[in-house]
Structure 1
Amino acid sequence: MYTLLDPRNFVVFITGATSGFGAAAARRYVAAGGKVIATGRREDRLAGLQAELGADNCHVMTLDVRDRAAMEKAAADIPAPFAGINIVLANAGLALGLQPAAEADLDDWQTMIDTNISGLVYTVRLLLPGMIARGGGHVVTLGSVAGEFAYPGGSVYAASKAFVKHFALAIRSDLQGKNIRVTDIEPGLTETEFSLVRFKGDEGKAAAPYAGTMAMTAEDIAESIFWATSLPAHVNVNKIQLMATTQAIGPFDIYRDKPNG
């Protein structure tokens, strides 16, 4: 019988904490007795989260993960009560657009690359040395089923999440002997602000993927993150891939230049 880690000892640095998985994870860790450093671009959302969770439990930092200098400053400016970070949840990310590759907006592609890849590696690289110096910790990256199962219109988004998956596996090897665990969380259909962002505020388009389904919730994903980080320290979950029961892998797309028959 092994003892789970005590969440009252958790100090969790979360990117993208203004909504969705990040906000749900912040609530889950604080509810269990941990402390969180919640970061994101929307200052009003962070202020609301801090008011809800309490300043003693939730420290907030307004920043954009794409801004390397801001990330460096944030990593250096953690106040003493929150300085013992032992979980890094590199959650910030997004999808933009669903056009075929030849029609996609290059600015959208660049934003996804800057956020999903550059922002993630800044977060992990800047916070890893501190965890190593303190004797251990856990890195949680936010991938997607799209990183394994690509789909039409998802070219750069899917590629960015494939990067996340392999980055997590690679740093897992780099961290052998450092007592640092690494887990990639790979959700499928989850109803958050994800589609609203993807379709740039078009509520009709954003609602369509979830119509008639029972999609997962941000709280479902936060619970999976919490579970992986709460396991005994000698157990590393390499990845958790989750899909709604109403979602499955589709058939191969086969182009035919003439009708059958």
Structure 2
Amino acid sequence: MKKQALVTGATSGIGRATALRLSVVGYDIIATGRRADRLAELKASIEAQGGACRTLCFDIRSEEECKKFLEPIEQVDLLVNNAGLAAGLEHIDQGSTADWDAMIDTNVKGLLYVTRIISPKMVAAGHGHIINLGSIAGTEPYENGAVYCASKHAVHAISQSMRADLLSHNIKVSEIRPGMVETEFSLVRFHGDQQKADKTYVGVEPLTGDDIAETIAWIVQLPAHMNVNDIVLMPAQQAGAYYTYRKTK
């Protein structure tokens, strides 16, 4: 049987690009997401390029749905915990608790639910690789981002501890922490306000979902004795959460 890669949040952006790229390098894909039409389109695209894709439409924020859809899976060689979001951009005294719940439930609890189900399968198999999508926000907190930054700090800590927990089971754990990536991220953060989302990238050539997918493909093709524990990826015009050079002409 070919290697199986499970990619969460595969309906757009980094997740979709990663599913497509991993199919090219030899993985059968199990793609999860909440939008059935997007999953169907992804499946068709993967099959059109000669790959195989199974889709699972559910919300990782629900532990019961995670169990229902993921427990029956027999083999997962690679887990890409990609599903995540930012919601809102306000000072802590003005933030929406609904936004906070969405970020914590997806970015932290959803990642944990999926990993709790999949990691024992890897332990039983005696091998595996887990890649968690973090952010520079996981080490660089910024104004208006308290809860999002907290959720990505959690991903950073979980990744480090997870690596130690699974070390003796021949399971690699990698974390990718991108800076500015142009996907649906900002559109979701601003609740569909396209004008606000577009301003995020004015004067900057950001990273793309394909850039992150290419990095993931590189990581998973390294020799068995090598692991990328933690990698930070930035646009050339960004030096950190507070340092971005925007071209005005």
CA distance in 1, matches of 2:115, 2:215: 20
CA distance in 2, matches of 1:96, 1:251: 19
User: Which residue does 2:163 correspond to in 1?
Assistant: 172
Unaligned ranges ≥5, structure 1? 1-7, 253-261
Matches within 5 A, 1:37-76: 37-54=30-47, 57-76=52-71
User: Which residue does 1:32 correspond to in 2?
Assistant: 25
Bigger drift between 46-55 and 214-223 goes to: 46-55
User: Which residue does 1:129 correspond to in 2?
Assistant: 120
What whole-Å deviation, never above 9, does each CA across 1:29-62 have from its counterpart, x for those lacking one?
1122211100000000001111111296100000
User: Which residue does 2:111 correspond to in 1?
Assistant: 120
TM-superposed deviation, 1:9: 4.1
TM-superposed deviation, 1:76: 2.2
User: Which residue does 1:20 correspond to in 2?
Assistant: 13
CA distance in 2, matches of 1:16, 1:57: 18
Runs of 4+ with >6 A deviation: none
User: Which residue does 1:258 correspond to in 2?
Assistant: none
Unaligned ranges ≥5, structure 2? 244-249
Letter matched to residue 221 of structure 1: I
User: Which residue does 2:146 correspond to in 1?
Assistant: 155
What whole-Å deviation, never above 9, does each CA across 1:59-109 have from its counterpart, x for those lacking one?
00001000101101112233xxxx321000011000001000000001100
Match of 2:209 among 214, 218, 238: 218
Letter matched to residue 13 of structure 1: L
**Percent of residue pairs identical:** 45
Letter matched to residue 186 of structure 1: R
Letter matched to residue 227 of structure 2: N
CA distance in 1, matches of 2:233, 2:240: 12
Q: How many residues align?
A: 241
User: Which residue does 1:255 correspond to in 2?
Assistant: none
Letter matched to residue 154 of structure 2: F
**TM-score normalised over the length of structure 2:** 0.93
Letter matched to residue 36 of structure 1: I
TM-superposed deviation, 1:250: 6.1
What whole-Å deviation, never above 9, does each CA across 1:194-217 have from its counterpart, x for those lacking one?
000000110000000111111000
Bigger drift between 132-141 and 8-17 goes to: 8-17
Assess, with a 3 A threshold, how the Cα gap between structure 1 residues 189 and 66 changes in structure 2: closer, same or farther. same
Letter matched to residue 213 of structure 2: A
Q: Provide the aligned C-alpha RMSD in A.
A: 1.5
CA distance in 2, matches of 1:250, 1:109: 20
Higher-Rg structure is 1
CA distance in 2, matches of 1:84, 1:225: 20
Letter matched to residue 213 of structure 1: V
TM-superposed deviation, 1:251: 6.2
TM-superposed deviation, 1:234: 1.2
TM-superposed deviation, 1:134: 1.1
Match of 1:247 among 214, 218, 238: 238
TM-superposed deviation, 1:135: 1.6
TM-superposed deviation, 1:237: 1.0
CA distance in 2, matches of 1:166, 1:119: 15
